[in-house]
Amino acid sequence: MQEQTIPDRLKISPFLIFYVIMAMQIGLGALDYQRIIAKDAGYDAWISIVFAGTCLHIIVWMIYKIAKIVNGDIVTAHMYVAGNLIGKVLSFPFIFYFLLHSLASLRTLFEILQVWIFPTLNLFWFSLGYMLLSMYVVFGGLRTVVGIAFFSLVLPAFLVFTFFPNLLYSNFESLLPIFDHSVKDLIKGSFHMSLPFIGFEVVLFLYPFIKESQKSEKWAHLGLLATTFLYTILAILTFAFFSEGQLQKVMWPTLMMWKIFKLSFVERFEFIGIAFWNLIILPNVCISIWIGSRLVKRIFKIRQKKGVYLLIIAQLGMITFIHTREEINLLNSLMAKVGFAFTMLYIPLLFIAVYIVKKVKKK
């Protein structure tokens, strides 16, 4: 069912899926998810994170089953189920899905830059510079894009240790009593983790480009497990540091926690954290553009380079019209709902459809 054979020189090693998944998940929503999930689940929200992460392992298992049966990506799966024409029609909306993901990641980053460091930052020119850098990376091919994902995790990894000074001012008793909220509230908290957790579904689009694809499944699960662990630990540290009343008044709790960290040569360490966040967001943008342009190539049979140009022009056009906090919140909320619908509803439905068609074709 695959459109063409991908040469090995263009493929990535199975273990790199670990970095791809973590790079896509850490970025969008990672700076303020603590405040959002605590609105419903309170300081039991760390349970919501664990529950959401556990459920997503089932979705990852479904993704690999789909890809193995059709021996290809999501476009191949749609063609397997619905035929060539309808399969392409079903695949078309995912171009906008990744355009939306890239747009939300960038606009959230730019808002942080405007609020914390550069209040007079020219949105268009900075966006243009960032998009030109992203385009340069994407034109290097998938291996280059995945290399950026690797370095976006390895280089800023030291930031994890910068939260340790907060332990001196933390009160872990504020997390007690555990299970003080209803199951309904905990599920609501899990739903609000949609935005920080989306990104792992890229495996369904990258599957043909992975060497010995099935060997990457364990790395996909490990990547998701690592992200879940990181989000859970950071949430617990945040809940112990802020009271519930304080947390709801803080826009970006992760950034505020950096204000405790002091160095002799840097008074405001959060500036360094934000600078590294530019690197952390870069693979979110590059992978989204690469997948979106790949879908353009698969569906419309045009060169992938042209698809890259189209997506970047569209993104530059849209980003300059999003100015206020309300508009950015609306964008992130839309991304969260669409991501939830795709990962938790559409993938299981596609999984069932592929299995039914497989049974029918056998008969």
Mean pLDDT for the stretch of residues 150-165: 91
The CATH class of the 12-348 domain is: mainly alpha
Gyration radius from the chain CA atoms: 21
- DSSP assignment of 102-134 equals HHHHHHHHHHHHHHHT-TT--HHHHHHHHHHHH
Helix (H) or strand (E) run with residue 223 in it:
helix 217-241
**Global pTM value:** 0.94
Main-chain dihedrals φ then ψ at residue 116, nearest 5 degrees = -95, -35
Q: Among residues of the chain, what percentage have pLDDT more than 70?
A: 99
Task: Kindly list the domain boundaries of the chain, sorted by start residue.
Answer: 12-348
The residue with greater pLDDT, 8 or 304, is 304
Q: Is the pLDDT at 4 greater than 70, yes or no?
A: no
User: 206-231 burial string, b = 16+ CB within 10 Å, else e?
Assistant: bbbbbeebeebbebbbebbbbbbebb
User: For residue 174, what pLDDT is reported?
Assistant: 85
Cα dist from 231 to 39, 173, 251, 363, whole Å: 17, 20, 17, 46
pLDDT (tens digit, 9 = 90+) per residue, 27-37? 878 888 999 99
pLDDT (tens digit, 9 = 90+) per residue, 97-114? 999 999 999 999 999 999
Neighbouring C-beta atoms of residue 264, cutoff 10 Å: 5
Please give, one letter per residue, the 3-state secondary structure of 14-65.
CCHHHHHHHHHHCCCCCCCHHHHHHHHHHHHHHHHHHHHHHHHHHHHHHHHH
User: For residue 2, what pLDDT is reported?
Assistant: 43
User: For residue 18, what pLDDT is reported?
Assistant: 97
- Sort residue 198 into left (φ over 0), alpha (ψ -120 to 50) or beta: beta
Mean pLDDT for the stretch of residues 67-77: 94
Q: How confident is residue 201, by pLDDT bands cut at 50, 70 and 90?
A: very high
Mean pLDDT for the stretch of residues 82-86: 93
> ∠ at Cα 13 (11, 14), nearest 5°?
115
Q: Is the pLDDT at 96 greater than 70, yes or no?
A: yes
Question: Distance between CA 107 and CA 195 in Å, rounded?
Answer: 14
Q: Among residues of the chain, what percentage have pLDDT more than 90?
A: 71
Do 290 and 102 meet the contact criterion of CB atoms below 8 Å apart? no
User: For residue 1, what pLDDT is reported?
Assistant: 43
Q: How confident is residue 361, by pLDDT bands cut at 50, 70 and 90?
A: confident
pLDDT (tens digit, 9 = 90+) per residue, 202-249? 999 999 999 999 999 999 999 999 999 999 999 999 999 998 888 988
pLDDT (tens digit, 9 = 90+) per residue, 245-282? 889 888 899 888 888 887 777 778 888 889 999 999 99
- Sort residue 281 into left (φ over 0), alpha (ψ -120 to 50) or beta: alpha
Kindly compute the dihedral angle of the four CA atoms of residues 352, 354, 357, 362, in this order, to the nearest 10 degrees: -110
Mean pLDDT for the stretch of residues 131-152: 95
Q: Is the pLDDT at 15 greater than 90, yes or no?
A: yes
Do 107 and 319 meet the contact criterion of CB atoms below 8 Å apart? yes
Mean pLDDT for the stretch of residues 325-343: 93
